[in-house]
């Protein structure tokens, strides 16, 4: 497909994208291009210069880093319709993680030149992008809270919820909720053994909450998964994605 509008059903599941004024959303798509990646292909490396922002339309992206002992640390697996890469736009510093395609992946890409053009033409775009970055900060705090107070089973369920919704930045689809995660990925993300993760996933599957597929986890009972993850009543946060243009200059 050569027209990003073909992917509107996917893009509109992003609460950030869906909160954009129609004219702003149309301008963003008109400035975007498709970028296909094969499985395992590197998108960028930690330390690379800023090369724009991206949205996952199909497939997924692994965000990883290298520990002092040389081991790879999996930070996150991001799936449709997640926008990412905006941090370096604000601070001008290099990329913070390695990014690699999980299977055949299709991205929407907005180059630095076109992104700068958006902001120059409409300074409100700086605020809109700041809202996108704030979502990632909220996700980080939510993950830190989970790591300090949840038991292993709840942490596992929470990791699946957070990956599916990218920290409630996208709308979950109860009828088609799957994510490109396997036992190894979850073990890396949660610093657990594969045996512990395998036992936890089997317990959730035996309860009818999810189904394990090849290199994927499919949720079959969204409400019970949230209960297992001990999601508090304020999530998803209804007020998080208010009108991006409420602050007018």
Is the pLDDT score of 10 beyond 70?
A: yes
Cβ neighbours for 52, distance < 8 A, ≥ 6 positions apart: 85, 109, 110, 111, 112, 114, 115
pLDDT digits (tens, 9 = 90+) for 106-152: 999 999 999 999 999 999 999 999 999 988 787 777 667 666 678 88
pTM comes to 0.73
Is the pLDDT score of 156 beyond 50?
A: yes
Q: Is 220 helix (H, G, I), strand (E, B) or coil?
A: coil
pLDDT digits (tens, 9 = 90+) for 208-244: 999 888 878 888 888 888 889 887 654 454 444 444 4
Q: Please tell me what DSSP assigns to residue 7.
A: G
pLDDT value at residue 234: 45
Q: 221: how many CB neighbours lie within 10 A of its CB?
A: 16
Report the number of secondary-structure helices (H) and strands (E) in the chain. Answer: 10, 11
Q: Which two tokens stand for residue 21?
A: 């004024």
Would you list the DSSP string of 74-122? EEEEE-TT-EE--HHHHH-PPPSSEEEESSSEEEEEE-HHHHHHHHHH-
Residue whose tokens read 């409400």: 223
Give the relative orientation of helices 124-149 and 112-121 as an angle to the nearest 10 degrees.
Answer: 120
User: How sure is the predictor about 205, in pLDDT bands with cuts at 50, 70 and 90?
Assistant: very high
pLDDT value at residue 189: 78
Burial 85-119, CB ≥16 within 10 A → b, else e? bbbbbeeeeebebbbbbbeebbbbbbeeebbeebe
Category of 135 on φ-ψ map: left (φ > 0), alpha (ψ -120 to 50) or beta:
alpha
């Amino acid at each position: 497909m050569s027209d990003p509008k073909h992917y509107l059903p996917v893009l509109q599941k992003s609460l950030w994208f869906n909160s954009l004024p129609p004219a702003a959303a149309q301008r963003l798509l008109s400035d975007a291009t498709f970028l296909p990646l094969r499985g395992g292909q590197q998108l960028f490396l930690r330390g690379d210069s800023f090369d724009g922002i991206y949205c996952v339309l199909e497939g997924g992206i692994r965000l990883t880093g290298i520990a002092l002992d040389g081991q790879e640390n999996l930070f996150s697996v991001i799936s449709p319709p997640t926008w990412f890469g905006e941090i370096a736009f604000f601070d001008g510093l290099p990329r913070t993680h390695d990014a690699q395609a999980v299977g055949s992946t299709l991205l929407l890409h907005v180059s630095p030149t076109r992104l700068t053009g958006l902001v120059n033409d409409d300074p409100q775009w700086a605020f809109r992008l700041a809202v996108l970055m704030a979502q990632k900060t909220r996700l980080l705090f939510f993950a830190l809270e989970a790591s300090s107070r949840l038991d292993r089973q709840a942490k596992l369920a929470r990791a699946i919820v957070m990956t599916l919704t990218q920290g409630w930045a996208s709308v979950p689809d109860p009828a088609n909720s799957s994510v490109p995660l396997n036992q190894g990925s979850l073990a890396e993300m949660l610093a657990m053994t594969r045996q512990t993760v395998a036992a936890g996933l089997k317990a959730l599957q035996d309860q009818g909450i999810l189904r394990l597929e090849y290199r994927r986890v499919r949720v079959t009972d969204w409400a019970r998964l949230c209960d297992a993850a001990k999601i508090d009543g304020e999530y998803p946060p209804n007020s998080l994605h208010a009108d991006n243009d409420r602050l007018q200059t």
